[in-house]
Amino acid sequence: MTFIARIFRFLFWLLILSWSIALLRRVVGWMLRGVVQAPEQRAGTDAAAATQEPGTGRRLVRDPVCGVHVAEVLAIPLREGGALVHFCSTACRDAYAGNTKKFAANG
């Protein structure tokens, strides 16, 4: 093999190796995203997480109007009789308040 062919072969494998390392770093970074974040960063991005104890999950509630699941701390509550009903938006809450019999039948 000539000297120039060896240089091209070396550069080719160097390029392949550098791309592989970059791809591996991206995959590992994607897998560890959110796990490695510091607690003060998470509290800054999500105010509800700051009020919870570490290691506890959020409870999801279902909007009776549109059926969307919302974190209980972010939902808009409405006390209807003795029950507490949660909504994803004020529009859903107003629609429910205007037509409660229809939504009560849907459960």
pLDDT tens string 33-82? 866 555 555 454 455 545 555 555 678 888 888 988 988 888 888 888 88
Q: What is the pLDDT of residue 96?
A: 86
Q: What is the pLDDT of residue 53?
A: 59
Phi, psi of 71 (to 5 degrees): -60, 140
Q: 93 in the Ramachandran plot: left (φ > 0), alpha (ψ -120 to 50) or beta?
A: alpha
Cβ atoms within 10 A of the Cβ of 63, count?
20
Q: What is the pLDDT of residue 49?
A: 47
Residue 29 buriedness (CB in 10 A; 0-12 / 13-18 / 19+): exposed
Q: Can you tell me whether residue 80 is helix, strand or coil?
A: strand
Whether the model clears a pTM of 0.85, i.e. scores above it, the answer is no
Count each helix (H run) and each strand (E run) in the chain, helices first.
5, 4
Q: What is the pLDDT of residue 24?
A: 95
Q: What is the pLDDT of residue 80?
A: 81
